[in-house]
Homo-oligomer: A and B are copies of this chain.
Amino acid sequence: MLARVSSPTFKRLPRAVREQQMLDAAVKVFSRRGFHAASMDEIAEDAGISKPMVYAYLGTKEELFVACLHREGTRLMEAIAGAAAPDLPADERLWRGLRAFFGFVGAHRDGWAVLYRQARGERPFAAEVATMRGRLVEVVASMLDHALRAKGREVRGTDLEVVAYALVGASESLADWLADHPEADPEKTATRMMNVAWLGADRLLRGVTWHPPAD
Query: Which positions in A face B, CB cutoff 8 Å?
Result: 33-34, 36-37, 92, 95, 117-123, 159, 162-163, 165-174, 176-177, 187, 189, 191-201, 203-204, 208-213
Contact = CB atoms under 8 A, between A and B. Distances in A.
B170 A173 contact: yes
Tally of this chain's copies: 2
Contacts of A171: 166, 169
Given A121-B118, A203-B199, A189 B174 contact: no
Nearest to A124: B34
Contacts of A192: 159, 162-163, 166
B195 A199 contact: no
Contact of A169 (B37, B95, B169): B169
Contact of A166 (B174, B208, B209): B174
Contact of A173 (B34, B165, B193): B165
A199 B200 CA distance: 5
A171 B170 CA distance: 8
Given A169-B172, A195-B204, 11 more contacts: A34-B121, A37-B123, A95-B212, A118-B122, A166-B192, A169-B169, A195-B209, A196-B201, A198-B210, A199-B200, A199-B210
Given A36-B36, A169-B173, A173-B172, A163 B195 contact: yes
Contacts of A163: 192, 195-196
A48 B127 CA distance: 33
20 contacts: A34-B121, A36-B36, A117-B120, A120-B120, A159-B192, A162-B192, A163-B196, A166-B171, A166-B193, A167-B170, A169-B176, A172-B173, A173-B173, A196-B201, A196-B204, A197-B200, A198-B200, A199-B204, A199-B209, A200-B201
